[in-house]
Chain A
């Protein structure tokens, strides 16, 4: 076997302290990451390796008339040039759910930046030059960019001859999926409303903008297979899509997780995986591909932009009567996660409120815009932005305090969702709102100092636009609901292999899963779980690869729940086996072996009364106990395609935010002063990591509120700002203090009572910031991100 330089090695973390769950143990990969030695996918290196380059379409929608690769192939240093015609297997498409994405464009391109050809050469510059020499002739087609153009009578079909399982129930072939949800009778209930508010909202296209660009290294293996070192969110999902296109059985495609520089949903779909493998197999040499930032904007799916139409009603005493909504998500050229995004958007469209009578419809379109798919909180994020704006409007109509109005209508344990599913674990929505409101407000005019205004604390920041002129403070609140784990009947399981043995006189546990550590701290938590369950100080985290069963995706706030659950389960099975060995060896020496509840603690077998029965070292001696087992959460059901009814979700997650902003009302510039969050996490397995997740998710919500947006030209469907110069992420000067109040109400269905936490803070952050800006300016602001021209009437 060839090993790539920089391939991940086992991480061992020793601890004299207990280091179990509930403690803020430090990351096992922390030292490697601060010394620059942690090997990310773009750091992989192999002797003799080539560099891969992708040629992408320069237009959004066109027939490919011809492709001429001869000049590129003739270049010195070029080892291979491949197009659709060179694909080796019958299978030439891939996709998460619907295999509608060609590995390389065939016959036509459907979006700007679609891969058309790939090159391998001995230097990245040679590869770039060669790609530039490939001549592609396009015959441009009209672009489909929105619902009207997608469903027009003469609309060109983005995908002809669809055979996927959604085609039977969608009203038009340019609609990927449609999910209505009807419960009660919204029209009838509307008659009871004293106040009705309607709104049309727009949510812009957000980019995950993980800092580590798509990259990986494919190494051909002697058995004709390939070993791919890759940054991804789900190794086995990649594998399932890659192997058929290479014409290889899955066991000939080995995958090892390389260091992942953030993900946020953007690595759920394949990017350069197949291309690198194809080039490696074609050339017989290792091939590395690293996207640059420009390419990264085309290399992964984005957050669905959405148009949302809402109607809510309330009685004069403030009780919600009904809700009607229609959510139109733009899925772009390929399906990606669109069906699941539709499922989340529709099923969570009512928010964390009690509304008995609802009429809901969500659809995702096929268009020639950039493909959209998974991003942190998908579906729920867009809906939350709209329903929270509605709540403020309705509270104002009723004449109630905005927070009290929400609390009055807040769901709680036992509430029935629009899907008919009861919420069967704590849902402390009112309490989260109370807590976030109770936090002390930041002092006014913090930018004033004895030496004048500190512009760094004012809207505009270092750009010196105001010394206080035009600055108005605003405060806004929002709360949201997100499902945890994969829903709608998906078999959402994880696998963990746990091994226990004595090494150098000490019991050591090894945890091996295929979980993608993308920064969330899953590796930290796995070690904590193993310490808690197996009572050892030393835990080794094995690199994630496909030599163990699937761990599912690092998404949907599910990894600590599901793979954490799998690690816990496998640890319990190992513990039982160890205790069996102990009973066999020592059972006759002490009756407690047979009668007491036994635990593993501090390297010993102890009774629940604390009596030590044996050292693990003596129990195990030179025996190793290893168990690999799958673990799954409670099953879910699909939503009925007509009524949307069904127990589709496994768990819900709630967060509330209060935003305090200062707006330069003349220039339309915003400084977020504070973004406070209260979230129920069920059980904080690692409090430091929990808070880090909440603050990070909150900041991504801030980004889409005031600056982040991929801008697509509606006439050409081309991306206009694919760079960090014009796609702006919040800097440290844009990000406020983020006080976090963590509530821990156990969900009895989940391991340790925990609740998936990664996404909920991204939901309510955005509407809270928008509400605060509305509060400061008095403007309606129905779109996000809100830009200076929107705040000044100069759009």
Chain B
């Protein structure tokens, strides 16, 4: 094993180009476990801790460019307004110690369906900024997850940042685990309301081979909200709409039975979380809307 210690992003890209099998390590949450337990003996470890750019974020007009290694703790503390869904998801990641070191880049690199950030990224809308010595490209989050623990990165590419749309409406995130802290998701659900485009987006974790959106559910809800004039009248969403949305979210799952839970439970739980997060976000939207109406 060789330990590569690039001091800059350029050096990191060069090292990855020279050694495409090199395994990037930043927070160490996944990679060190595999090494400690002899599951993996990479030829090269590519340490990204010295690449300062990866720990920075920029809040732009429409989106946040979030460095791949910005620790979850920082996201919770600093980006709650811009990225509420991801901030909530960050708070569910493992333990305080791990949130202090792990970042979204690790979740994306590993691309486990159980990664906590994925549903929030899917719901908010995001692009992964991948870079190699050949150049930079932005991969839409919907195209990023290609299989179980597989992603769209080329062997010489590294994740530089994630561009996440700033919230234009309420976002929520829920995760089911069989423990009240420090737990891997049995399944997870992210929901974002986008009042500007009058649309909703979802993200489901740990209930399919990859993180997925519940697109049929989104389409149904978009149509139902439009038809009922909900975005304008700010009425309570009818139980039947919420129920059907939840059922469609369940139907978007393609889960397995494993030691963490049964497939049937995962489908059920995703439905419950979909209904609850819809209620929470919609109540929040109505509250904000009513407040602004009142002010006007």
Contacts and interface: CB of A to CB of B under 8 A. Distances in A.
A726 B260 contact: yes
B178 interface: yes
Contacts of B268: 792, 794
A464 B92 contact: yes
B240 interface: no
Nearest to B172: A464
A726 B180 contact: no
B292 interface: no
Contacts of A361: none
A52 to B, nearest CB: 15
Interface string A770-789: 00000000000000000111
B207 to A, nearest CB: 13
B180 A794 contact: no
Nearest to A729: B179
A733 B180 CA distance: 6
Contact of A463 (B38, B180, B261): B180
Given A464-B91, A666-B272, A667-B269, A789 B261 contact: yes
Contacts, number: 101
B178 A707 contact: yes
A3 interface: no
Nearest to B175: A463
Contacts of B54: none
A731 interface: yes
Interface stretch (A228-236, A465-473, A493-501, A590-598): A465-473
A463 B259 contact: no
Q: Taking chain A's interface residues, is the majority helix, strand, or loop, or is none over half, making it mixed?
A: loop
Interface string B86-114: 00100110000000000000000000000
Nearest to A293: B37
A470 B176 CA distance: 14
A572 B185 CA distance: 59
Instruction: Specify which of A294, A668, A721 lies most central, judged by the most chain B CB atoms within 10 Å of its CB.
Output: A668
B183 interface: yes
Given A128-B38, A462-B91, A726-B259, A731 B265 contact: no
Given A462-B92, A464-B173, A464-B174, A711 B181 contact: no
Nearest to A703: B179
A459 B180 contact: yes
A726 B265 CA distance: 17
- Interface hub of B178, B185, B269 (most chain A Cβ within 10 A): B178
A293 B267 CA distance: 32
B264 A789 contact: yes
A463 B92 contact: yes
A132 B272 CA distance: 46
Contacts of A711: 259
Interface in A648-681: 666-669, 671
A447 to B, nearest CB: 12
Contact of B276 (A292, A466, A725): A466
Contact of B179 (A666, A707, A720, A794): A707
B36 A292 contact: yes
Q: Which of A461, A467, A733 has the most CB of B within 10 A?
A: A461
Interface in A745-795: 787-789, 792, 794-795
Contacts of A456: 180
Interface string B154-189: 000000000000000000111111111111111000
A669 B37 CA distance: 31
B83 interface: no
B181 A731 contact: yes
A399 interface: no
27 contacts: A460-B174, A460-B177, A460-B180, A463-B92, A463-B183, A464-B174, A464-B175, A465-B174, A465-B176, A465-B276, A470-B272, A666-B272, A667-B272, A667-B273, A668-B265, A669-B178, A711-B259, A720-B259, A723-B37, A726-B184, A730-B179, A731-B182, A733-B180, A787-B178, A787-B261, A788-B176, A794-B265
Given A465-B273, A726-B260, 9 more contacts: A456-B180, A460-B176, A461-B179, A464-B88, A464-B174, A723-B37, A788-B261, A788-B265, A795-B264
Q: Nearest 4 A-B pairs (CB), nearest first?
A: A461-B180, A794-B265, A789-B265, A733-B181
